[in-house]
Structure 1
Amino acid sequence: MLNNSLDRALFQIASAFTEAGITWGVGGSRLLLAHKIVDSARDLDLLVSMRSAERALRLMRELGVGEVSQAKAPFCSRHFSQHRLSGVDVDLIAGYRIEHLQGVYEQVFDTDSISGTVALGDLEIPLSSLEDWYVTYQLYPQKAQRAELIESHFQKSGLARPDLLYRALQGVLPDEVRVRIERLLVQLT
C-alpha cells in the first residue's frame, strides 16, 4: 500500500489533518510527482490556510519532531515550521511569502487553492495548484527549472486553474514574472 517513507509520513499527516478539519494541500516536489512532472520527491511541503495554521502546527508537534523555524531568505512566510516524521523532512507553511526586488509576494492559500487530490491508501490527499507553484518557483532562482517544467506541462496538458494565475497577478510580482504569466494566459486560455 505505502511503498516508501515519504508516503507513510504523508499518510500519517493526512489522517490527522483530515480528522481535525485542517484546510491544507501538498505542494513542492510531491505535487510535481503527483502530476508526473518529476520522478521522485524527497521531502514534503505542506501548505495550510492561515485559519488552520495553529491547529496544524499543534498536530505536527504531536506527530513528529519540529519547532517553529525562521524561514530563510528569500522566504518570509507568516508561519513556518520544520518537522521530521518517519525520516522525512516536512515543511509546514501558512502565509507563504517570498521576497523579491520589487517587494513581497504572498501566495494565497485557501480552499480555492486546492486543485485536485491523489489517492494514498484509503485517503484522498489534497493537492495545491500547479498554477500557484508555477508563480512561486519563478520567484525562487534556485527552483527556476521547476517553473520551466510546470510551464512545459501546461503547454501539453493546458491550465487546470487559470483563475489562480489571474489571482496571482493581483499580488506584488516582479515585472518579468507578471509578463510571463500574462503571456501564458494569452497562449492557453
Structure 2
Amino acid sequence: MKFDDLYYIADELNKKKVRWMIGSSVLLYFHGMVNSPNDIDVVIDEKDIMKVKAIFDKIGIEQAKEKKYPYLTEYFYTYIVRDTSVDIMCNFGVAHQYGDYRLKIDESAIVEYRKINDVILPLSSLEDWYVLYQLMPGRENKVNMIEEFLISNGVDHYELFERALTQPLPEAVAYNVNRFIGDKS
C-alpha cells in the first residue's frame, strides 16, 4: 500500500463531503501496531454509497470479488487505485452463532480526524475493531494486538464498547468487552 494513494483517495472523498472512515490494518498502522498495511479499508455511510461508487469508478479499476461467509456487508467493492488495493464497505456486518453484528458509522464511530499532508483522515475506533476482529475467523493476532494496546494505553471510547453490547455477541466476545468496561471505574 502506498500512503500517497491513501491521501489521494481521502482528498477525493472529502471533496465530495462523503461520511467515511478508515479501518482495519491502516487504523492499526496509525496506532503503531503494524509496520505496513497491505491495503486500504474504507467504511462508508449508506447515504453516500452511490456517490462513492461513482468516485471510485473514476479514479480506480474495480476488481471482481465474491462475498464470503461470515461477512454480511451489504455493499462491498474492491478497487485498484493507482498501485493500491482498496476495499469499500457499507453496512459492514459479520454473522456469528448468536446472530449478526453490524458496524455503525456515525459521528460517534469516527473518533479522530487526523491531518496528514493537508488531508483529513477520519479514523474509526480500536474499540469497534476489537469487537469486529473477534468475530472474524483467523484474526486472533489482530485481536491480541488491539487488546495489548488497550491494556497499555487505556480505553478511550467506552461508549462504543457499551454500544457493541447492545447487539448480539458470542459470550466470549461480550466477556472480553465487559472486562474493559469493568476497568473504567
TM-score band, normalised by the shorter chain?
over 0.9
* Residue 167 of structure 2 is aligned to residue 163 of structure 1: no
Distance 1:92 1:132 in 2: 17
- Partner secondary structure for residue 108 of structure 2: helix
Q: Which position in structure 2 is the counterpart of 1:21?
A: 17
**Equivalent-residue separation in structure 2 for 1:175 and 1:186 (angstroms):** 16
How many residue pairs get aligned? The number is 185
- 1:149 corresponds, among 145, 150, 159, to 145
1:11-50 counterparts in 2 under 5 A? 11-50=7-46
- CA distance in structure 1 between the aligned counterparts of 2:99 and 2:64, rounded to whole angstroms: 24
Counterparts of residues 42-61 of structure 1 (less than 5 Å):
42-61=38-57
Cα distance in structure 1, aligned partners of 2:184 and 2:27: 21
RMSD of aligned residue pairs (Cα, Å): 1.4
Q: TM-score, normalised on structure 2?
A: 0.94
Which segments of 5 or more consecutive residues in structure 2 lack a partner in the other structure? Answer: none
Give structure 1 regions of 4+ aligned residues with deviation exceeding 2 angstroms: 67-71, 117-120
Contact 2:155 2:180 in 1 (8 A): no
User: Normalising to structure 1: TM-score of the pair?
Assistant: 0.92
Aligned to 2:120: 124
Q: 1:102-113 alignment to 2 at 5 Å?
A: 102-113=98-109
Deviation at 1:69, TM superposition (A): 4.5
Structure holding more helix per residue: 1
- The Cα of 1:117 is off from its aligned counterpart by 2.6
Judged with a 3 Å threshold, the aligned counterparts in structure 2 of structure 1 residues 126 and 93 are, in CA distance, closer, same or farther, namely same
Contact 1:26 1:126 (8 Å CA) reproduced = yes
Q: Which amino acid aligns with 1:122?
A: D
Q: 1:98 maps to what in 2?
A: 94
User: Equivalent pairs: percent with the same residue?
Assistant: 27
Stretches of structure 1 lacking an aligned partner (at least 5 in a row): none
Give the aligned partner of residue 79 of structure 1.
Answer: 75
Q: In 2, Cα distance between the equivalents of 1:114 and 1:95? A: 15
Equivalent AA in structure 2 for residue 91 of structure 1: D
Aligned match for 2:60, one of 40, 44, 64: 64
